Amino acid sequence: MDHFKNEYAMPEFKKIASGLILLCLFTKLTAQDQKIVVHINESKQYQTIDNFAASDAWSCQFIGSWPEEKKSKIADWLFSSDTLQNGNPKGIGLSMWRYNLGAGSAEQNNDSKIKDEWRRAPLTINNNKKVQAQNWFLKAAKERGVKQFLGFYNSPPVTLTKNGHAFADSGRTNIDPVKYKSFAQYTAQAIKSIQQSTGVVFNYISPVNEPQWDWSDGGQEGCPYNNHEISGLVKTFSETFQQEKLPTKLLIAEAGQLNYLLPKSNKPDRDDQVNNFFNPTSSLYIGNLSAVSSTIASHSYFTTSPLAQAIQMRTSVTDKISQVKGLGFWQSEYCILGDNAGEINGDKKDLGINAGLYVAKVIYEDLAFANAAAWQWWTAISAYDYKDGLVYVDKSETDGSFSDSKMLWALGNYSRFIRPGMKRVEVAFPETKGVLITAFKDPDTKQIVSVLVNENAESKTISFDQTASTMGLILYTTSAADNLAKQIVTGKQFELPGKSVVTVLMK
């Protein structure tokens, strides 16, 4: 042992060891000091943002009957654009609310054959206790400044379905074409009923939801359609809306996955929806109908990981949609499902930052590569043990506990600050693993809003090279410790914390 000590106490070794230590320290300091310089090109513009949204399915028919203080707090989290005394946002300021137009399985009770009561939905025109509770959130959204509203169906009303239920048999469409007119007329009646009871007029109606799926297990309301059936249904709806002089537009077709907007999937009569519905040479063309929105909608499920494949899919969607002049794209439903190539699993709710970061990454993918003009979450309030909620509640019809999640606040990094009418602009920065950046410009105020996601555990130094930002930056940080925490920075440089989502407003 003495020989060992003496050998490694020699001056030469000490010099080598000291050099190695200095080299390691220098490398570490250099890595820490490296700046990610961000350049925003305001002149290069992409899509105009329409909205950020979430839906009331299925909990609001119950939570709307909870004590006023509790449901008001939840509504503030979802809809408010106010600020607290410390300058932090009170809520995430959703700019659209998706309203579940139920098929009436709730009125059927156990005869609905949908075992879970919380996955049944009432007929809107009945205006019963559940509808009134659901409408409380509709009114709460309007009172807190939400200006866009969409009503969506998972199934036609049970009075019009082939089997008398709100789910299908063997994956077959559950409504006959002869009932399309009645379905459209019922919807017109529902729109007017909602307006009378809440003052809300639906800007959009989505009559079809994930038509590629089977919807035969009775797990919830649902109805499959092929493209021919969707085209016929939409033509009837458009005609009826025109006759009723409704300003409401039809959103088509809420595809179950992005690949169904493109040709050559595993469902040949339910894919290629861009061409089928919006190519004038198609026999199923509906793009010229007065009530049809110039928008095609899809859900982002099962296409979000790994990042390279997610980008490739979204680039293909953008290329296809760009072939139709004036056609826009909405990502109209998402929550974390599946195993996502091992990156995160949809099972088990997670109120923490890892789930929030994943949601922020998906929003980045859809905005930056699919040119999504809208980004919409699935169920705003969940009573389940899945990563499907922004707010989580006890499964109680009258009262219970509730909690927010980092998925809520990470979405808020986008929804609270990127408002309808803003345009996405080009961002250039050195490629850095785990760092994602998008930027947007308000055409009226000229303000630039950037959202940065840092999936890494370590912080990153960010520097903007815009001369417009020399007066300083306003940051809103969501991390394990913070929910849209406000910070004012002098100059153009700041530290992007590890595992965080940060919105930057240039002063």
For residues 146 and 262, membership in a common domain is answered with yes
Residues 314-327 have a mean pLDDT of 98
Residue 10 in any domain: the answer is no
User: For residue 4, is pLDDT > 90?
Assistant: no
Q: Report how far residue 192's alpha carbon sits from residue 117's, in angstroms, rounded to the nearest whole number.
A: 27
- Find residue 450's DSSP bridge partners: 439, 504
Residues 365-381 have a mean pLDDT of 98
For residues 337 and 474, membership in a common domain is answered with no
Q: Quick one: pLDDT band at residue 466, thresholds 50, 70, 90?
A: confident
For residues 414 and 435, membership in a common domain is answered with no
Q: Coil, strand, or helix at residue 293? A: strand
Residue that has been written with the tokens 């961000």 in this structure: 38
Residue 15 in any domain: the answer is no
User: For residue 32, is pLDDT > 80?
Assistant: no
Taking only the tens place, the pLDDT of each residue in 106-162 is 999 999 999 999 999 999 999 999 999 999 999 999 999 999 999 999 999 999 999
Q: Report how far residue 304's alpha carbon sits from residue 264's, in angstroms, rounded to the nearest whole number.
A: 20
Residues 5-24 have a mean pLDDT of 40
Residue 17 in any domain: the answer is no
* Domain stops at, among 398, 420, 442: 420
Task: Please give the structure tokens belonging to residue 287.
Answer: 């793009």
For residues 408 and 436, membership in a common domain is answered with no
Task: Please give the structure tokens belonging to residue 38.
Answer: 């961000």
Residue 401 in any domain: the answer is yes
For residues 206 and 228, membership in a common domain is answered with yes
Q: Quick one: pLDDT band at residue 363, thresholds 50, 70, 90?
A: very high
Strands 460-464 and 328-333: unpaired
- Find residue 172's DSSP bridge partners: 169
Q: Report how far residue 213's alpha carbon sits from residue 125's, in angstroms, rounded to the nearest whole number.
A: 27
**Secondary-structure breakdown of the chain: helix, strand, coil percentages, each rounded to the nearest 5:** 35, 25, 45
User: For residue 179, is pLDDT > 50?
Assistant: yes
Task: Please give the structure tokens belonging to residue 84.
Answer: 């607290």
Q: Quick one: pLDDT band at residue 34, thresholds 50, 70, 90?
A: confident
Residue 11 in any domain: the answer is no
Residue 239 in any domain: the answer is yes
- Find residue 151's DSSP bridge partners: 99, 205
Q: Report how far residue 55's alpha carbon sits from residue 109's, in angstroms, rounded to the nearest whole number.
A: 23
Q: Quick one: pLDDT band at residue 467, thresholds 50, 70, 90?
A: low
**CA neighbours closer than 13 Å in the CB half-sphere of residue 482:** 21
For residues 329 and 467, membership in a common domain is answered with no
User: For residue 6, is pLDDT > 80?
Assistant: no
Q: Report how far residue 496's alpha carbon sits from residue 435's, in angstroms, rounded to the nearest whole number.
A: 10
What's 2's DSSP letter? Answer: H
User: For residue 389, is pLDDT > 90?
Assistant: yes
What's the CATH code of the domain at 453? 2.60.40.1180
For residues 363 and 444, membership in a common domain is answered with no
Q: Quick one: pLDDT band at residue 404, thresholds 50, 70, 90?
A: very high
Residue 3 in any domain: the answer is no
For residues 110 and 167, membership in a common domain is answered with yes
For residues 386 and 460, membership in a common domain is answered with no
pLDDT attached to residue 313: 98
Task: Please give the structure tokens belonging to residue 129.
Answer: 């206790």
* Domain stops at, among 399, 420, 441: 420
Q: Report how far residue 159's alpha carbon sits from residue 165's, in angstroms, rounded to the nearest whole number.
A: 8
pLDDT attached to residue 62: 98
For residues 90 and 174, membership in a common domain is answered with yes
For residues 332 and 259, membership in a common domain is answered with yes
Task: Please give the structure tokens belonging to residue 206.
Answer: 């989505």
* Domain stops at, among 420, 443, 458: 420
User: For residue 175, is pLDDT > 60?
Assistant: yes
Q: Report how far residue 407's alpha carbon sits from residue 360's, in angstroms, rounded to the nearest whole number.
A: 8
Residue 29 in any domain: the answer is no
Taking only the tens place, the pLDDT of each residue in 247-259 is 999 999 999 999 9
Task: Please give the structure tokens belonging to residue 486.
Answer: 């406000």
Residues 440-464 have a mean pLDDT of 97
Given a contact cutoff of 8 angstroms between Cβ atoms, the answer to whether 445 and 482 are in contact is no
Q: Report how far residue 346's alpha carbon sits from residue 357's, in angstroms, rounded to the nearest whole number.
A: 14
What's the CATH code of the domain at 350? 3.20.20.80
The edge-to-edge listing of strands for the beta sheet with 381-382 is 381-382, 391-393, 402-403
Q: Report how far residue 135's alpha carbon sits from residue 14's, in angstroms, rounded to the nearest whole number.
A: 76
For residues 319 and 380, membership in a common domain is answered with yes
The model's pTM is 0.93
Task: Provide the number of structural domains found in the chain.
Answer: 2
Q: Residue 474: exposed, middle, or buried by beta-carbon count in 10 A (0-12, 13-18, 19+)?
A: middle
* Structural domain of 321: 51-420
Q: Report how far residue 428's alpha carbon sits from residue 137's, in angstroms, rounded to the nearest whole number.
A: 40
pLDDT attached to residue 43: 95
Residues 410-419 have a mean pLDDT of 99
pLDDT attached to residue 18: 45
